[in-house]
Amino acid sequence: MHGLEINHTGTRTIETERLILRRYTLDDAPAMFKNWAGDPAVTEYLTWPPHESVDVTRWVIGDWVKRYEQPDYYHWALELKETGEVIGDIAAVRVIEPVAEAELGWCMGKAWWGKGYMPEAARAVVKYLFDAGFNRACAQHDVDNPKSGRVMQKIGMTFEGVSRQGGLNNRGVVDSARYAILRGDPVTL
């Protein structure tokens, strides 16, 4: 059996109308900690707890920066063009090579929620991954966090179902709604 071929390009800069998606640097630690990583409201539905200090954030970013050497590592800081401030994060949190699938995960500081930034970033990342040969991009969210699901819907992902008690986050074991988009599907603009 042969799987699909991916031409791994790693994390390269992507520009959208309002954002620059780029690699993290250690200089991003203060903004990341302040804007989302230290905020329990942002991390409530995530798989990692809020950072206790900017030193924790700096350590995490240091690990990510080392991983940029790997061509199959996809992880972007979301920088607001208007201000140069880092406001969020998007990554392929899991890659399944044989089916050329990338599972996306994202988070953003609550000051920027509801302004369309995450759908803008997610559309760009999906296009980038499809251009690299991925066939499928998927994402999941806690059913009690429908706003994350709205991002999935806005970029054209199709609802595939709920995995009962199939997710784990800071709230414990949760029901997880799953969405996906295939390379041939239209990406919603």
Mean pLDDT in residue range 136-153: 93
Q: Indicate the pLDDT class of residue 5, thresholds 50, 70 and 90.
A: confident
pLDDT of 187 above 70: no
Percent of the chain with pLDDT over 90: 86
Pair 166, 175: CB distance under 8 Å: yes
pLDDT per position as a tens digit, 38-60: 999 999 998 999 999 999 999 99
Give, in order, the Cα–Cα distances in Å from 181 to each of 93, 122, 189.
16, 12, 14
Q: Where do the structural domains in the chain lie, given as residue ranges?
A: 14-135
**Three-class DSSP category at 20:** strand
Neighbours of 128 (CB within 10 A): 20
Q: Is the pLDDT of residue 28 over 80?
A: yes
Tokens 């924790």 found at: 56
Residue 172 neighbours by CB under 8 Å, 6+ apart = none
- Residue 126: its pLDDT value, please? 96
Reported as a single tens digit per residue, the pLDDT across 152-179 is 999 999 999 999 999 888 889 999 999 9
The pTM score is: 0.93
Which class would CATH give 14-135? alpha beta
**pLDDT tens digits along 99-132:** 999 999 999 999 999 999 999 999 999 999 999 9
Closest to 32 (Cα-Cα) out of 146, 93, 109, 136: 109
Residue where the block lists tokens 């969020």: 88
Q: Is 65 exposed, middle or buried (0-12, 13-18, 19+ CB in 10 A)?
A: middle
pLDDT of residue 21: 98
pLDDT of residue 3: 62
Over 70: is that where the pLDDT of 188 sits?
A: no
CA atoms within 13 A on the CB side of 49: 5
Higher pLDDT, 4 or 87: 87
- State the CB neighbour count (10 A cutoff) for residue 64: 19
pLDDT exceeds 50 at position 1: no
